[in-house]
Amino acid sequence: MGMPFEEYGTGRCVNCGYLGKRDEDLRISECYPASEYDRSFGKLDTHIISKGSGASVHFKTFPKCFVGKANLREEAAELFDDKDEELNKENVCIHRIITAKRDCPSWYPWREFSSPKEMWEESVMLAMEERREKFELNLFDMSKRLAQNNHKIMVFLGIAAIIFAIVQVIVLLID
């Protein structure tokens, strides 16, 4: 069903790190990661938590944009109303929603096995690092300009001192 994620380009939910799955009953506030399989086949309606020794818990989920730039749950509900049951069973509607071209300004590259929250925390950390680097560059430029201004002042004071000394010598010679 799906093509390689790189071919979708940027700005689509299918390859965005903020795409996740949320518990249908909203009992758990966590936004679960959407795996490569989930994204490839639009399989964002179920999440399975393994409890060890073969036991697992299944619960219904819905697609969720962690940063809230798209209401994927609402979009899915609208499409489900318009499509036949066969399309809904095969998750075609969800796949269409997450592969739609959105040009989302909040898009962040997806990495397998990272939750949407981890991706968001990473993006915040990178943005802070970028702001810190810009601040340091500005600080460096300011210190460089200050050093240049100090040099000009020192040259001016040096010349003024020499002129003053010459005037003093001339005054002493005239007297």
| pLDDT of residue 175 exceeding 80 | no
Q: Express as a percent the part of the chain with pLDDT over 70.
A: 89
**What are the boundaries of each domain within the chain?**
5-114
At 158 the pLDDT is 93
At 117 the pLDDT is 93
What average pLDDT does range 64-86 have in this prediction? 78
Name which residue leads in pLDDT, 77 or 148.
Answer: 148
Q: Do the Cβ atoms of 100 and 48 come closer than 8 Å?
A: no
Tokens of 56: 């697992």
Integer Cα distance of 40 and 122 in angstroms: 24
At 165 the pLDDT is 92
pLDDT in tens, 1-53: 455 556 667 788 999 999 999 888 777 777 889 989 888 888 888 888 787 77
Radius of gyration for the chain, computed over Cα atoms and rounded to the nearest angstrom: 31
| pLDDT of residue 109 exceeding 60 | yes
Integer Cα distance of 8 and 6 in angstroms: 5
Separation of first and last alpha carbons in the chain: 104
Name which residue leads in pLDDT, 81 or 154.
Answer: 154
Closest among 35, 26, 42 to 75, alpha carbons compared: 42
Would the CA dihedral through 158, 161, 165, 171 be positive or negative?
positive
What average pLDDT does range 75-89 have in this prediction? 65
At 1 the pLDDT is 47
Integer Cα distance of 76 and 22 in angstroms: 13
User: Can you give the chain as a three-state secondary structure string?
Assistant: CCCCHHHHCCCCHHHECCEEEEECCCCCCCEEECCHHHHHHCCCCEEEEEEECCEEEEEEEEEEECCCCCCHHHHHHHHHHHCCHHHHHCCHHHHHHHHCCCCCCCCCECCCCCCHHHHHHHHHHHHHHHHHHHHHHHHHHHHHHHHHHHHHHHHHHHHHHHHHHHHHHHHHHHC
What average pLDDT does range 90-104 have in this prediction? 83
Instruction: Read off the pTM.
Output: 0.69
